[in-house]
């Protein structure tokens, strides 16, 4: 027998034994740690992103864009209102705006405010220099505040005194790139822009977005395998991070195509996607629910969409949205504009925003800790440190602040940034980012969003999740939106639940009021039943489809303050809602009517 054959035959038993041992070990690990199979998917994606991140090491986002321009100049970069713009054209427009800015004295380090809605011009401007995106109106007396205002393309519009029209300068500006040394001194820590948070529960704050964070944001959709051959659709405002960093970012980094809508339209969403052969869509908040409320059409399934990427998709809408529009791959993620970590759910686990197992925590250092919704502070033990929650227990999500997970904070008053930092969480000297979000962890280490810390309230000694109550209410077909919050009743501990509802059409009948009562009393624990119902034609929302409730909380349940909105209270004896007029209001305040 030849030596080689003899040698091979000799090692066969050992090889078989080794493979069997590996198989047994794998079986035991899967048996003891059934959740670990999900970890492998997350680890693979994290590893891929790390490799891609290294590819762009020491490169700024604008430099990555210019590389794509040089490589694919004629490829369509942007589609807006049926107009197509190539990478080359976009680059030339950016160059002209940059040179126009230099001509009027805008220099490196200046902060430029961009006041625009979704349009190609927003992109040409935003990719030129550091900027601050704002949605508030500028004050009338701009000159006195040292603010210069430049306008391009005003046409026949009347300009405020002190505004400088730049059309002539722009028209004559060169479309060649500015000299390279204009980027000298700019590194990964340099801010690329300031993006205002949406102001859901407080005033908007200008989050600092560094070059490093911009590139990381650009790679987020790439985690869902969005690449160079994709056509990405977003109807979200470019002045927020979802569209401005994540959707536009992945297009720039991968050399893909962006279809931009001027604003979200539920009736035109799928029509746009079919027309432009969109392969990846971006969603946020209630957008998917609004799409599900539209009349069914052939466009629901006659499209090329293979993946939906976003955050805030409600568990009860998830399957309906996926089935109706035939989008099996939904990539839900969690990220805050000012936050320092990203979580993601790559396995279509309904309702989950991501995972954090003991293994994954080594890679993405987050924790969910006990939280007191009354004091709005973490619960600390006798040793002064925070405690982790048990499975299926709501708690505050925090993320370790360290080199690879920096928290850049907000522009302006440092106290705003300090409020988002927790110290001495698990050991002396550690720093954690306070997400302000309450999360739950299940036995497989999937994470579920429960509520904002300022939204959850306590009633009858129990914590009430506004999101849970809102989901139950909007399951009623004729309720369009439910904005749930807590209101104070004199002499009562905690806050009573109140729901402001907008209806599909018409007013509430007695039968409708009974339906609301039956729905809430049948599906919610008694402490979570809304004690008050208010009807509004429309709700104030942020531009990212988040309901605003600060003014509603201030108005409370006083009929005089909420006029002309209809108001109702829950009669616990009759288990139905009755009109809340002056008499029952005073009886509730005096304690004659107990809720």
Q: How confident is the model over 95-123, as pLDDT tens digits?
A: 888 888 888 887 777 777 777 889 998 89
Q: What is the dihedral of CA 254, 257, 263, 264, to 10 degrees?
A: -80
**Binning pLDDT at 50, 70 and 90, where does residue 17 land?**
low
Kind of pairing, strands 377-378 and 366-369?
unpaired
H or E segment at 50? helix 36-55
Tell whether the model's pLDDT for residue 2 goes beyond 50.
no
Distance separating alpha carbons of residues 283 and 233, to the nearest angstrom: 9
- Decide if 84 is inside a domain: no
Lowest mean pLDDT segment, chosen from 370-379, 432-441, 511-520: 370-379
Instruction: Give domain status of residue 560, yes or no.
Output: yes
pLDDT of residue 412: 80
Full DSSP string of 231-277: EEEE-S-TTSHIIIIIIHHHHHHHT-EEEE-SS--HHHHHHHHHHTT
What is residue 255's predicted lDDT score, i.e. its pLDDT? 97
Residue 205 CB contacts under 8 Å (≥ 6 apart), including other chains: 196, 197, 199, 338, 410, 412, 416
Separation between Cα atoms, residue 296 and residue 287, nearest integer Å: 16
**DSSP code per residue over 472-532:** HHHTSTTEEEEEEEEE--TT-SS-EEEEEEEESSS---HHHHHHHHHHHHHHS-GGGS-SE
| Distance of alpha carbon 527 from alpha carbon 32, whole angstroms | 38
Residue 222, pLDDT score: 93
- Contact status, residue 36 vs residue 357, Cβ threshold 8 Å: yes
Q: Omega of the bond prior to 452 within 30 degrees of 0, cis?
A: no
Give the integer Cα–Cα distance in Å for 391 and 32. 17
DSSP 3-state of 594: coil
Judge whether 565 lies within some domain.
Answer: yes
CA distance 426 to 424: 6
* Residue 62 belongs to a domain: no
Task: Assess if residue 234 is contained within a domain.
Answer: no
Element spanning 93, H or E: helix 87-103
The whole-number pLDDT of residue 158 equals 45
Domain presence at residue 24: no
pLDDT band of residue 371 (cuts 50, 70, 90) is very high
Dist. CA 511–CA 504, nearest whole Å: 16
Choose between 308 and 165: higher pLDDT: 308
pLDDT at 420 over 80: yes
Of 587 and 203, the structure prediction assigns the larger pLDDT to 587
Q: What is the mean pLDDT of residues 17-21?
A: 59
Of 91, 145, 123, 474, which is closest to residue 285 (Cα–Cα)?
A: 474
Q: Which of 265 and 506 is assigned the larger pLDDT? A: 265
Hey, what are 247's tokens? 């959707």
What is this structure's pTM?
Answer: 0.79
Burial code (b: 16+ CB inside 10 Å, e: under 16) for 382-399 equals: eeeebbebeeeebbbbbb
pLDDT of amino acid 130: 33
Percent share of the chain, pLDDT over 90:
51
Q: Is 298 among the domain residues?
A: no
pLDDT in tens, 473-500: 998 989 988 999 999 898 887 889 999 9
Q: When comparing pLDDT for 553 and 365, which is higher?
A: 365
Give 298's DSSP letter.
G
527-544 pLDDT per residue, tens: 999 999 999 988 776 666
Helix axes 466-474, 510-523, angle to 10 degrees: 130
CATH number of the domain to which 508 belongs:
3.30.300.30
351: nearest Cα among 312, 380, 388 = 312
Longest dimension (CA), the chain: 105
In this structure, is the dihedral angle defined by the CA atoms of residues 581, 582, 586 and 587, taken in order, positive or negative? negative
Helix (H, G, I), strand (E, B) or coil at 571: strand
What is the per-residue pLDDT for 6? Answer: 46
- pLDDT tens track for 37-83: 889 899 999 998 888 888 887 788 888 999 999 999 999 999 999 99
129, pLDDT greater than 60: no
Q: What is the pLDDT of residue 369?
A: 98
Residues 190-240 have pLDDT tens digits of: 888 888 776 555 567 888 888 888 888 999 999 999 999 999 999 998 888
pLDDT at 140: 37
pLDDT at position 428, please? 96
Is the pLDDT at 87 greater than 90, yes or no?
A: yes
Q: Which residue has the tokens 């380090």?
A: 109
Do residues 310 and 284 lie in contact, with contact meaning Cβ atoms separated by under 8 Å? yes
Distance of CA 97 to the CA centre of its chain: 30
What mean pLDDT, rounded, does the chain reach?
85
Checking if the pLDDT of 8 tops 60, the result is no
Number of domains in the chain: 1
Q: In sequence order, what E strands does 386-461 have?
A: 395-400, 421-423, 431-441, 446-452, 457-459
Sign of the dihedral defined by the CA atoms of residues 101, 106, 107, 110, in that order: negative
Q: In this predicted structure, what is the pLDDT of residue 136?
A: 30
User: Which of the pair, 187 or 13, is modelled with greater confidence?
Assistant: 187
The better pLDDT of the pair 317, 139 is held by 317
* Domain range enclosing 501: 455-590
Neighbours of 329 (CB within 10 A): 15
Q: From the centroid of its chain, how far is CA 72?
A: 31
Per-residue pLDDT, 134:
32
**Is residue 524 a part of any domain in this protein?**
yes
Q: State both tokens at 368.
A: 């969910």
């Amino acid at each position: 027998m030849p030596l080689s054959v003899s040698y091979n035959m000799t090692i066969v038993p050992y090889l078989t034994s080794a493979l069997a041992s590996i198989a047994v070990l794998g079986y035991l690990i899967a048996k003891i740690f059934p959740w670990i199979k999900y970890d492998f998917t997350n680890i693979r994606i994290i590893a891929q992103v790390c490799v891609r991140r290294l590819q762009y090491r020491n490169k700024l986002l604008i430099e990555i864009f210019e590389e794509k321009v040089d490589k694919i100049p004629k490829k369509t970069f942007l589609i807006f209102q049926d107009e197509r713009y190539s990478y080359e054209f976009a680059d030339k427009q950016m160059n002209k705006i940059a040179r126009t800015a230099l001509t009027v004295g805008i220099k490196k380090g200046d902060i430029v405010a961009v006041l625009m809605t979704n349009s190609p011009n927003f992109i040409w401007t935003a990719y030129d220099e550091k900027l601050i995106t704002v949605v508030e109106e500028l004050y009338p007396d701009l000159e006195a505040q040292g603010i210069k205002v430049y306008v391009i393309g005003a046409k026949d519009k009347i300009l405020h005194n002190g505004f400088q029209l730049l059309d002539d300068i722009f028209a004559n500006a060169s479309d060649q790139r500015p000299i390279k040394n204009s980027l000298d001194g700019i590194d990964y820590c340099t801010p690329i822009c300031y993006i205002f948070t949406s102001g859901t529960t407080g005033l908007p704050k200008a989050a600092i977005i560094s070059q490093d964070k911009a590139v990381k944001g650009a790679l987020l959709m790439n985690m869902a395998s969005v690449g160079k051959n994709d056509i990405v659709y977003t109807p979200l405002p470019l002045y927020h991070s979802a569209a401005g960093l994540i959707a536009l970012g992945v297009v720039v980094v991968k050399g893909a195509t962006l279809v931009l809508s001027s604003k979200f339209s539920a009736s035109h969403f799928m029509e746009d996607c079919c027309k432009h052969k969109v392969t990846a869509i971006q969603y946020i908040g209630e957008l998917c629910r609004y799409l599900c409320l539209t009349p069914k059409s052939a466009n629901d399934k006659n499209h090329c969409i293979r993946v939906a990427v976003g955050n805030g998709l409600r568990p009860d809408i998830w399957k309906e949205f996926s089935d109706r529009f035939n989008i099996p791959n939904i990539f839900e993620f969690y990220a805050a504009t000012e936050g320092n970590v990203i979580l993601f759910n790559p396995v279509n686990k309904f309702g989950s925003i991501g995972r954090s197992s003991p293994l994954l925590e080594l890679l993405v250092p987050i924790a969910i800790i006990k939280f007191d919704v009354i004091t709005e502070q973490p619960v600390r033990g006798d040793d002064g440190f925070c405690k982790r929650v048990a499975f299926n227990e709501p708690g505050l999500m925090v993320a370790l602040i360290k080199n690879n997970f920096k928290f850049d904070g907000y522009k302006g008053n440092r106290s705003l940034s300090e409020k988002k930092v927790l110290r001495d969480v698990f050991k002396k000297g550690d720093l954690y980012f306070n997400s302000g979000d309450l999360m739950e962890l299940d036995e497989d280490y999937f994470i579920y969003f429960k509520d904002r810390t300022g939204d959850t309230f306590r009633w009858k000694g129990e914590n009430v999740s506004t999101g849970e109550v809102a989901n139950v209410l909007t399951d009623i077909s004729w309720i369009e939106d439910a904005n749930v919050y807590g209101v104070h009743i004199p002499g009562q501990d905690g806050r009573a639940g109140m729901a402001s509802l907008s209806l599909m059409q018409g007013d509430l009948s007695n039968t409708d009021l009974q339906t609301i009562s039956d729905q809430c009393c049948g599906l919610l624990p008694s402490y979570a039943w809304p004690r008050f119902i208010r009807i509004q034609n429309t709700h104030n929302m942020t531009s990212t489809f988040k309901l605003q409730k600060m003014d509603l909380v201030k108005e409370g349940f006083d009929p005089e303050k909420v006029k002309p909105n209809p108001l109702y209270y829950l009669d616990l004896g009759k288990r139905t809602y009755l009109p809340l007029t002056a008499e029952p209001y005073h009886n509730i305040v005096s304690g004659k009517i107990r809720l």
